[in-house]
Every structure is written in structure tokens, then in C-alpha cells.
Structure 1
Amino acid sequence: MKKTLVTLVSMLLVTGMLAGCGNSDTANSANGGEKSNSGDKVYKIAYIARAQSDSFAAWLANAVKEEAKKYPDIKLEVFDGQANDDKENSMIENAITNKFDLVIVQPNNGEAQRPYVEKVIKAGKFAITTNARISGIEGASSVDADPYEQAGVNARAAVDQIPQNAKVVVLNGPSGNFHADKRRESWQKEFFDKRPDVQIVGEQIANWNKDEAMKYMEDWVQANDRIDAVISMNDNMAAGAIEAVKDNSKFDGMLAYGVDGTLEAFQLIKEGKMTSTCLQNAFELAEKLLDTSNKLLTGAEKQVDTDIGNPLITKDNVEEYIALLEKAEALK
């Protein structure tokens, strides 16, 4: 009797194990999606952030995580590229190896990430590049803003704001980055070409980084008796330059321009220490990223390229946008 009972239990255990293996084998759909406990298809998305230490990149990553909660058929994982091309490229390769259905890449350096995003497409997976897009990858989608216009709304205002024969400094993002290059091009065409009287007394690549910008500004302050304006390709670097002169009365009234619309920038505009910024709304980017992901994964679209708006934020309207950024801070 005991022997019969043991045999029966053993058979039941084996049957259960085989059933479990069968469920595992059928968990993946034909196009890579897993299945939830209810049997619904669940898609795996890897979001690879440029650098969580970057205030805007952190806002965007957090907004993407929040937006993904609205999609029960999507499982999102966020990875931090730490502003390092090798790390980011390795993460893209790992996403392929780990069979993510879709990979969203916020490039550190678009050209450095290009061949790795191409690998995602070649592996039969979906890829979206964002902030900044990598153009010209067949089969890849993009969700972004227009960096030329982001800088342009500032530059066109600055034509009348920056005084005659002004001395200015310029803080650039990483060379080869689509947003960095296009914003600098816009400032050239929309401002410097129209204001040949303006002298650039310092220009450096500060890699979107506040601390790097602060160090460059400290050097420029030592070398120049006055600096009339800081022209920065993002808010983080503009804030660093402003910090460097906060206790120096010689630079009271200095103008400063940025892009992104971070809470810090809004506070500086409210206090009269920064002139304007262009809002790059991470919530809007996140909405479009998840909507695009859903359309691609469900077969509604094969490729999507879309942009968000470029509102100019000044002391006249900054109060309207502070609540938006307070919401962003609450996500951290």
C-alpha cells in the first residue's frame, strides 16, 4: 500500500513539473511578449537613461516609470547609463540578450549608440530613441523635441535683450549629441549671425553637467571684468554658471538662457537670476513614449516619429509651470 501511494505521489509530482515546463514554454508569444497570470500578453520594455545624475534625465526616467503604470500589458525596467557610452552600449546589448520586446534609448552620444540601436532592430526587436533621437536608423522610431526650435525661442528673444557690444560665454552639451549640436547651430543662426557686435569670451563643452559649467564659469570670471550673458544649451549648465557668480556683485544683472525647464531653472527665473528657458516637458515625452511603444508592440504602427512642443518660459509665465515641476519632483 505504501509503495503504491509513493508511486502515485511521484507520478503526480512529475505531471506537475511537466505542466510547469509547458507553461514556461508557452509564456512567450510569437513576437516576444510574455503572458500574465490571467493569460494576457505582457511586453517587456527596457528604458535606458542617459544618466540619472542629470536632473532632466532623472525627471524623464521617473515620468516614463509613472506613465508605464497605465499599461497593464507592459513591464518596464529602467537602467542608468551613467553618462558613459560603454555602459550604455553594454546595457543595450544586455536588453537584446535578455529578450526585451522593445528598447527605449536616451543616448549619451547618438553616434556612439547608433550601431547598438541598429543591433536591436537586427535582432527583430523594436527600438525608440528619445531626447535626443538618432536619425536615419531604418526601422527605429523616435519621440523627441525640436532642439533647433528649443534654442531658437531663446535666441530670438535674446536679440533684443542682450546689450550692445556684450561679452558672453557659451556652454555646450556633448559633441555629436543631436540636441547639443542643433541648439548651438540655432544660437549661431538666430542670434550670433544677427548680432556681430557680441563677443564670445569663453566657450566650452560642459556635457550638460552643472559642476563642469561652474568650473568653467569660475575661470571666465577670473579672465573677464564683465560677462553680460550666459548662453547655455541646457538648464543644468546655466544653473552652474549662475552659482559661480552668486556672491559677486559685478555680475548682478547678468542674463542667462537654458533649455529643459527644470524646477531649479524655474526658481532662478522667478528670483530674477535666469532670463528664460524652453520647457522640454518630460511628462509629454513620457506619454508619447508609452503610446508609441504600445502602438508598435500591438501592431497598430510599424514606425513612429513624433515631437513635443517648445514653450518659452520667462518671468511672465513661470508661475504657471512651477506646479508642473513640483509634480516632477514628487516622483523622485
Structure 2
Amino acid sequence: MKKKILSLLLVLTLVFATFAACGKAESKSDDKEGKTYKVAYIARAQSDSFAAWLANEMKAAAKEYKDIDLEVFDGQADDEKENAAIENAISNGFDAIIVQPNNGEAQRPYVEQVVDAGIIAITTNARIDGIKGASSVDADPYLQAKVNAEQAIKQVPQNGRVVVLKGPSGNFHADERLKAWKEVFFKARPDVKIVGEDFANWNKDEAMQLMEDWVTSQGKIDAIISMNDNMAAGALEVVKDNPDYKNILSYGVDGTAEACLLIEQGKMTSTCLQSAIDLAKLNMETVHKLLTGEEKQIDTNIEEVLITKDNASQYVKMYRERGLITE
């Protein structure tokens, strides 16, 4: 009888031990499934219209993922401040850091620090090539400028006089867009003369100052060739009430709400959409795949879409629906 009781107690002990082990295993699984990933997004500058749009879309896209907690930091178009933000994100234990570079080469060693710390690193708008262990989500800046340049070949008048507004020196997007204009447009149109060319660093105010100088010193200008919409809009602001520039052509990149309105109104010629909506969604999809281990390395691009007077209204409508145009 004692032997039977001891045997029964032993069986029950084993059963309870098994349940306890299962409970612990299930608890570990639940912990993993319930993990929230901390993601830092280091924005180039909230004063830049496209960068601000992208930061807002990043927040919206992150809300679609219950396991992602996104924090946005403003680099203020300053390399030292952006680099400090990256270092702070590393020390604060973020699981992933997405960097929108102000100047790719200036941010390169700090993104390398992210990788060395064992943190998932993504560069976006513009990517920084050649960092082993870092992923990227971007657009093809050469193609973005190319679709505009192909239009300009037919639109800029013979012996036209143009000004060129450049993005930051060393920035991948700025350099590749300018390269496309040189190889596609200026090579096909050797008759065109550049009467003004300078860096406006994506900034509207800097573009306005340059345009004011060029209008004074050069007089006739047939076209504004800009590496982004913000600078193009700034240059157009300078000549908007001057009848001598009523038919000036203007080209940009980004497809911002302001640019689409200007195109719809016949004040700007064309732009290439760099959809912050698509870019943000692709960034969140990419970082989630990397965080969950579904992928180890991802380098991907969104598509480029030309916006002209023919289709600008559909994008103006899109911006109104998203509350980015309220008038």
C-alpha cells in the first residue's frame, strides 16, 4: 500500500513538473510575441517641407505596427546635431535606428557605430552606400531627375538661359539628380547657357536669395532647374509678380503639396513624386522584417512618378484628403 501511494505521488510530481515546464515555455513565447521594439527615426530637418512630410508619414506608418514604438528626432539640417542624435539613440538602447542623412559622408561613421553596436541600421532619403550590415530604403534620384530632364529637352527654348539650384554637396540625392540633368538635358541641349548655379541646400530661403541675385545680375532667365521642390518654389516666389518672368519654366523633385498646387496653377512646370507616404510605409515594413528576423539585409526603392499639369490635380486632391492642403 505504501509503495502504491509513493508511486502515485511520484506520478503526480512528474505531471506537475511537466505542466510547470510547459507554463514557463509558454510564458517565454508570450514574452517574445508581446515584445515592443523601440525605433528611432533621425530626421534631416523639420524645417524642410519634404523632410517634415516624411517625418509625419513615418509616425502614421508606425501606428500600423502594434509592436513598434517610434520616436522622431530632428537633425535641424546640422551635421553635428544629427550625429549627436544618432549617438544618443545608440546609448539609449533603441532596437533600430533609421537615419535620413543631412550629409551622407558626415553621417557615415555614426551609422557604422549603429551597426557596430549590434543595432539594426537603415539609411533613407538618401541612402548611404557601402556600409556593411546596414539596410536602405530610398528612391532612385537619377531617375527622378531624368524624367524632368527629358521633358525639359523639348520645353526649354533655343539658346535658353537657365539657373541651377543644387542640394547639399556630397548628398547622394543632390549629386545624382545633378548628374542626370548634365547627362540627359545639357548633353542633348548644348545651346542652353547656365547663367547661375549654386548650392541652396534644399532650402527655400537660400534659393530666394540666389534667385534675387540672378534676376538682378542676369536679367532674362528661361528656366529654373532645381534639385528639389522647396528650392524651386523659393525661386518662383521671387519672380511671381514680375511680368518678365510670366512664362518661366521650373522643374523640381519631391512632388510636395506646394509644388503640386503650383503646377496645377500653371506656375511650375513639372516635378517627380517622391512619395513620403510610400517611403514611410516601406521603411516601417523593412524595419519590422529586420527586427523580427524575417530578413537580414534589405535595400529597396520606391517608384518615381512624373507630375505635370495633366495629372497634378489628382495629387492636390490626395493632399487635401490627408489634410496637407487646407485652402
Q: What is the TM-score of this pair, normalised by structure 1?
A: 0.87
Larger Rg, first or second structure (1 or 2): 2
Q: Which residue of 1 aligns with 2:244?
A: 250
1:105-254 equivalences under 5 Å are 105-254=99-248
Aligned to 2:294: 300
Matching of residue 91 in structure 1 with residue 85 in structure 2: yes
Contact 2:316 2:325 survives alignment (8 Å): no
CA distance in 2, matches of 1:265, 1:203: 21
Deviations 1:290-315 (A, max 9, x none): 00010000000001000001000000
Helix, strand or coil at the partner of 2:118: coil
RMSD over equivalenced CA pairs, Å? 1.7
How far off its partner does 1:324 sit? 2.2
35-44 or 107-116, which moves further after superposition? 35-44
2:71 is aligned, of 74, 77, 80, to: 77
Opposite residue 80 of structure 1, the aligned amino acid is D
The whole-number CA distance in structure 2 between the counterparts of 1:327 and 1:136 is 39
Query: Where do 5+ consecutive residues of structure 2 fail to align?
Result: 1-28
- The separation in 2 between residues aligned to 1:241 and 1:288, in whole angstroms, is 32
Q: Contact (CA 8 Å) 1:168, 1:201: kept in 2 or not?
A: yes
Give 3-state SS (helix, strand or coil) of 2:295's partner. Answer: coil
| Offset of residue 320 of structure 1 | 1.3
Q: Give 5+ residue unaligned stretches, structure 1.
A: 1-34
Q: CA deviation at 1:39?
A: 7.3
Which digits, 9 at most, give the CA deviation of each residue in 1:274-297, with x for residues without a partner? 000000000000110000010000
How far has the Cα of 1:186 moved from its partner?
0.3
- Following superposition, the deviation at residue 92 of structure 1 comes to 0.3
Q: Distance in 1 between matches of 2:128 and 2:322?
A: 26
Q: Could you tell me how far apart the structure 1 residues matched to 2:322 and 2:153 are?
A: 32
Instruction: Pick from 49, 53, 67 the counterpart of residue 55 of structure 1.
Output: 49
- 1:25-50 residue CA offsets vs partner (Å, 9 max, x unmatched): xxxxxxxxxx9999710100000000
Out of 96, 105, 108, the residue aligned to residue 102 of structure 1 is 96
Q: CA deviation at 1:223?
A: 1.0
**Deviations, residues 201-246 of structure 1 (Å, cap 9, x unaligned):** 0001000000100010000000122100000000000000000001
The whole-number CA distance in structure 2 between the counterparts of 1:331 and 1:264 is 8
> Structure 2: which amino acid aligns with 1:260?
D
* Residue 277 (structure 1) aligns with: 271
CA positional deviation for 1:326? 2.6
Deviations along 1:146-181, one digit per CA (max 9) or x if unpaired, are 000000000011000000000000000000000000
Partners of 1:155 and 1:187 within 8 A in 2: yes
Q: Distance in 2 between matches of 1:144 and 1:238?
A: 22
Q: Is the 8 A contact 1:174 1:208 kept in 2?
A: yes
Deviation at 1:271, TM superposition (A): 1.0
For 2:192, the aligned partner's letter is V
Q: Distance in 1 between matches of 2:291 and 2:86?
A: 18
Please tell me the residue identity of whatever aligns with 1:277.
T
Deviating beyond 4 angstroms after TM superposition, the runs of 4 or more aligned structure 1 residues are: 35-39, 327-332
Identity %: 65
Name the CA distance, whole Å, in 2 between partners of 1:199 and 1:169: 9
**Structure 1 CA distance for aligned equivalents of residues 302 and 76 of structure 2:** 25
**Alignment partner of 1:322 out of 316, 324, 327:** 316
Query: How many corresponding residue pairs?
Result: 298
Residues 1:331 and 1:75: Cα distance change in structure 2 (over 3 Å): farther
Partner Cα separation in structure 1 for residue 266 and residue 67 of structure 2: 46
